[in-house]
Structure 1
Amino acid sequence: ACPCNGDATDGLMRQVASEVGIELVLYARRSLGYAIWCWLFDGLSLPLFSVKRLPTDDDVQALIEIAQKKGINVVVSEGPWLWPLVKKIGQVLRCPKVYRSHNIEASYMRRQRQLERSSIGRVSMFLSFFGLGRFERRAIKESDLLLDISADDLSYWKHPCSRCLPPIPAPLTVSFPMERTEGLLFLGNLRAPNNLAGLRLLLEEILPEVRRYAPELPCHVVGSGPDVQTERWIVSSGAILHKDVAEPMAWLISASCIVNPVRDGSGVQLKTLDMLQTDRPIVTFPQGLRGLPLELHDAVAVAATPTDFIAAILKFYRQGFPPVERVCTVRKAFDNRAFFRFLAEVVT
């Protein structure tokens, strides 16, 4: 169960869920005005970001009835945002309540706010995530079992019943092949402050130095949702922008060299998992490998500083950007049997 977006993505979510055998229940989001009223009336006990995504009382009752008819025997909250709903359903059905952590959300959002360059954006994020730290810790404390996609984050929570359950990366498949894209490739959401900070470092500090030795080396930026100012800045920096592309994974597969200059975040970098399923050289800062098994660290070039980042790119450039074999290592590290072992244990 999750809130609908009210656009074409709702149909896409239903289609994808149906293809993998998931019964998806969508409910309407609260309007912003109603959410703010509920937020204030409830004494700011929940972050506004969460309040906007919670169902109305009528939808909660409908979801409980669906769960009772289906014989649901465990309820899982993916992150903190719908924990009040999971808690309510778990109490009515008297079944285990599981919290699955993707990030240390409070720390992650605090850093995102610090990286946000717009004053309006910083105020909006402050209001949306006010009280997130208390809310997140309370949800984890109330859970019967904590699962974390990151082994690094798991030790932070100190939950009495917890384990690491890493994500299962989907195979990289595309509907159409692409010819080799010469040059560097940055892939990421072009609205997230941490991504923009990393891209700024790439385009303003790293790329100019790389081009002293490889003046004709192109740099491609593939990303979603850039505003007009971001678009102009990327192009003026000498990069080639490909916005809102239909199949971003096709760009990963065809790239000469993939770069990940992002230095802020938490949890597991899911974008890195997609990168690792290609045979392309990858250059990243240590943040890109956070939460990943140690055996994957040798599969990429890890740069401690911008100078190291430049040196790694130039090394691959002089070698002709050779392919790297690592897909088997990635699949072994993220074996889907771990997920099925969890299901068997929690149900019994």
Structure 2
Amino acid sequence: MRIVHVLHEFPYPANSGIRCDMGRRLAAFAQLGHPVFAIGWLAAGEVPDAADVAAFEALTDERELLRVGAGTAERLRRVWNLRRHPSYIAARIPAQAEREALIERVCAWRPDLIWLEGAHPSWLALELSRRLGVPLAYRSHNIEFRYVAEQARLAPTLRQTLALRAGTWGLEAAEARLHREAARVFDISVDDMAYWRSRGLDNASWLAPQPDPAILATAAAPEAARDIDLLFMGSLSSPNNIAGLEWYFERVHPLVAERLGAHRLTIAGRRPPAALAQR
């Protein structure tokens, strides 16, 4: 099966939950022998490491990296797209010439399936599915409109709060549309899947995150060979993850320390706040 894999962002390095999930699935598609045309997004100013680009290229047959722009023209186009699309989706609608050239490449590649990771790049995935007449599979990582609203509630600054609250506009309707139009939804959460079923959207299956082979190998190794007792992995720029870690340190860590005695806790993720390093 020839798969167009529309990614929420560039999946390397695997320093957030969604990057881990996307990267492992990309590797699984390759290991199963499915040709993949991967389309991802880089943040404004993001320059991927050469080794990460090489890993990405090794797993894909064709690829395209777009950019969530920060220039004046990109901002104006995003504002224009806000007439019909939520902010996060509007930011990932390419300029007309860029998207037409990309759609032409994808059409010539003749895929059998569009696999969409998350709601943010959904405009392009839906457009490809419509134009090519091929089914769309949607990987739902969250109930996004609830997730973003909770991020806004936990955000440490007014600027972040306002930006996140703006991101919730129209997001619920966009997600519901994805659940209606996708041939199949593969939900990361049984609870999330139950929510959408309560809304009458019943075309989902639960797809648990794939385990990382390196972590599995470490778990199977003799205990004496391990240098980490507890591991947290996730984006450290996300307010919900910081709130979760604060809860852990206040409510759980003293119990763990009492039970285990001397142990090593490792916290891994992108852009950790300075306060976390003082723990």
- 1:186·1:220 contact (CA, 8 Å) conserved in 2? yes
Shift in Å at residue 160 of structure 1? 4.7
* Cα distance in 2 between the residues matched to 1:84 and 1:172: 34
Change (3 A) 1:197 1:43: closer
Change (3 A) 1:13 1:139: farther
Change (3 A) 1:219 1:41: closer
Change (3 A) 1:180 1:156: same
Shift in Å at residue 171 of structure 1? 0.9
* Cα distance in 1 between the residues matched to 2:271 and 2:82: 34
Mapping 1:153-168, distance limit 5 Å: 153-158=192-197, 159-168=201-210
Change (3 A) 1:35 1:128: farther
Alignment-derived partner of residue 213 in structure 2 = 171
Alignment-derived partner of residue 24 in structure 1 = 63
Shift in Å at residue 117 of structure 1? 2.5
Q: SS where residue 95 of structure 1 aligns?
A: coil
- 1:27·1:59 contact (CA, 8 Å) conserved in 2? no
Q: SS where residue 99 of structure 1 aligns?
A: strand
Alignment-derived partner of residue 82 in structure 1 = 121
1:194 matches 2:243: no
Alignment-derived partner of residue 123 in structure 1 = 162
Shift in Å at residue 66 of structure 1? 0.8
- The higher relative CO (CA closer than 8 Å, separation ≥ 6) is in 2
Q: SS where residue 126 of structure 2 aligns?
A: helix
1:227 matches 2:273: yes
- The alignment-based identity, stated in percent, is 25
Q: What CA deviation, in whole Å up to 9, does each residue of 1:62-105 have, x standing for no partner?
A: 11111121112322221111111112222221222332212111
- 1:30·1:54 contact (CA, 8 Å) conserved in 2? no
- 1:3·1:55 contact (CA, 8 Å) conserved in 2? no
* TM-score normalised to structure 2 length: 0.69
* Cα distance in 2 between the residues matched to 1:167 and 1:214: 28
Alignment-derived partner of residue 250 in structure 1 = none
* Cα distance in 1 between the residues matched to 2:257 and 2:49: 43
Larger radius of gyration: 1
State which of 137, 147, 150 in structure 2 corresponds to 1:108: 147
- 2:82·2:90 contact (CA, 8 Å) conserved in 1? no
Q: What CA deviation, in whole Å up to 9, does each residue of 1:85-131 have, x standing for no partner?
A: 11222222122233221211111222222222222221121123332
- 1:29·1:52 contact (CA, 8 Å) conserved in 2? yes
* Cα distance in 2 between the residues matched to 1:102 and 1:218: 30
1:61 matches 2:100: yes
More off after superposition, 217-226 vs 52-61: 217-226
Change (3 A) 1:181 1:88: same
1:15 matches 2:54: yes
* Cα distance in 2 between the residues matched to 1:18 and 1:138: 32
Q: Which amino acid aligns with 2:40?
A: C
* Cα distance in 2 between the residues matched to 1:165 and 1:142: 19
Mapping 1:30-45, distance limit 5 Å: 30-31=69-70, 33-45=72-84
* Cα distance in 2 between the residues matched to 1:191 and 1:140: 28
Alignment-derived partner of residue 281 in structure 1 = none
Name structure 1 gaps, 5 residues minimum: 235-348
* Cα distance in 2 between the residues matched to 1:162 and 1:53: 25
* Cα distance in 1 between the residues matched to 2:138 and 2:264: 43
RMSD: 3.2
- 1:190·1:225 contact (CA, 8 Å) conserved in 2? yes
Change (3 A) 1:208 1:138: same
Shift in Å at residue 198 of structure 1? 1.8
* TM-score normalised to structure 1 length: 0.57
State which of 143, 148, 151 in structure 1 corresponds to 2:182: 143
